[in-house]
Amino acid sequence: MSGPAFFQTHMGQRFYEGTMPALVRELKRLNDNMERLVAMAEQLAGQKESTSAEPVHPTTPAGTEGK
């Protein structure tokens, strides 16, 4: 293949200097948000366990017991 390598082109420079750093920032932001979401879910699950004294039974539509 002849011609310059990708990193030597204008598009390649934009990709490595702009697009890649932006992708990394967004991935970091996504990871931070996921960590916060997991922490909240764990906190809510802990609250439900401590406030629930009785086991939760699945509900069935009326008239379908024993079928």
List the domain range (segments joined by +) for residue 25.
Answer: 10-49
* Structural domain includes residue 5: no
* Structural domain includes residue 65: no
Q: Return all residues near 5 (Cβ < 8 A) that are at least 6 apart.
A: 12
- Domain total for the chain? 1
* Structural domain includes residue 60: no
Q: Enter the pTM of the model.
A: 0.61
pLDDT at 57: 67
For residue range 8-57, list pLDDT tens digits in order. Answer: 999 999 999 999 999 999 999 999 999 999 999 999 998 887 776 566 66
CA distance 34 to 18: 24
